[in-house]
């Protein structure tokens, strides 16, 4: 696990984002979903593994509907401290814009029989391009899979909800589950107002 790319892309004298530092969490593994208004609004899905956060940019965000396959572009590892990061990345910096936390909690890596596995095993699965895990978030719950696409670019994966007691069959949109008072929504409203002028 390396944070070299993360470091390379950022100037820590300017951005308030966490410095590149590996930390092992105390016990349970954590996950976070950040909503990020950069050049495009998207979601960032991050799973703690071996002291860093394995990260995917998910344009539409995750879904609790097993019928949705959400495109997830794997990006550089982020430091463990990033899981609590929210705020403004100043203009001119990588990912400039606003970051807010959309969901967070613990997660457990599992195998195809839904049995809990250890970090070493999920890392092996990750290298093979297919991981399964259980999320214990406020919004996201139950079993999910992240599967690398074979036909396209190297970093394209699909984030898929598995059918379980938490799965829904109705339309699922992350945007409708975001409070209107969120910093990004306030900024979007302001932009819209300015456009109308
Ligand atoms: Mn992002």
Nearest to 107 by CA among 143, 160, 56, 78: 143
124 sits in which H/E element: helix 119-128
Nearest to 160 by CA among 135, 195, 186: 135
For position 87, what pLDDT does the model report? 97
Rounded to an integer, the average pLDDT of 128-132 is 96
Full DSSP string of 125-194 = HHHHTEEEEEEEESS-EEEEEEEE-SSS-TTEEEEEEPSSTT---S---TGGGS-TTSHHHHHHHHHHHH
Band (126; pLDDT cuts 50, 70, 90): very high
For position 20, what pLDDT does the model report? 83
pLDDT in tens, 14-60: 999 998 887 766 678 999 999 999 999 999 999 999 899 999 999 99
For position 1, what pLDDT does the model report? 65
Rounded to an integer, the average pLDDT of 65-69 is 97
Which residues have C-beta under 5 Å from ligand 1, the single-atom ion? 36, 44
Domain count along the chain: 1
**Segments forming the whole domain that contains residue 121:** 4-196
For position 115, what pLDDT does the model report? 94
Q: How far is the CA of 57 from the centre of ligand 1 (A)?
A: 6
pLDDT in tens, 133-181: 999 999 999 999 999 998 767 799 999 999 999 999 999 999 999 999 9
For position 24, what pLDDT does the model report? 66
Q: How far is the CA of 115 from the centre of ligand 1 (A)?
A: 31
SS3 of residue 45 by DSSP: strand
The percent of residues above 70 in pLDDT, for the chain, comes to 97
Give the dihedral of Cα atoms 114, 118, 122, 123; nearest 10 deg.
180
pTM beyond 0.85: the answer is yes
Q: How far is the CA of 3 from the centre of ligand 1 (A)?
A: 16
Q: How far is the CA of 17 from the centre of ligand 1 (A)?
A: 12
């Amino acid at each position: 696990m390396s944070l070299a790319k993360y470091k390379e892309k950022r100037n820590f004298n300017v951005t308030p984002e966490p410095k590149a530092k590996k930390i092992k969490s105390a016990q349970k593994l954590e996950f976070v979903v950040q909503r990020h208004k950069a050049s495009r609004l998207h979601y960032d899905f991050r799973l703690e593994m071996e002291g860093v956060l394995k990260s995917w940019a998910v344009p539409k965000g995750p879904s609790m509907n097993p019928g949705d396959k959400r495109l997830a572009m794997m990006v550089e590892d982020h430091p463990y401290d990033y899981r609590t990061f929210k705020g403004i990345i100043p203009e001119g910096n990588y990912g400039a814009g606003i970051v807010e936390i959309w969901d967070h909690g613990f997660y457990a890596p599992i195998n195809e029989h839904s049995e809990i596995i250890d970090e070493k095993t999920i890392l092996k699965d990750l290298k093979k391009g297919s991981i399964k895990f259980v999320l214990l978030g406020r919004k996201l719950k139950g079993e999910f899979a992240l599967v690398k696409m074979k036909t396209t670019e190297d970093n394209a994966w699909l984030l898929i909800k598995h059918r379980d007691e938490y799965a829904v069959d109705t339309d699922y949109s992350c945007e409708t589950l975001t409070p209107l008072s969120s910093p990004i929504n306030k900024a979007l409203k302001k932009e819209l107002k300015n456009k109308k002028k």
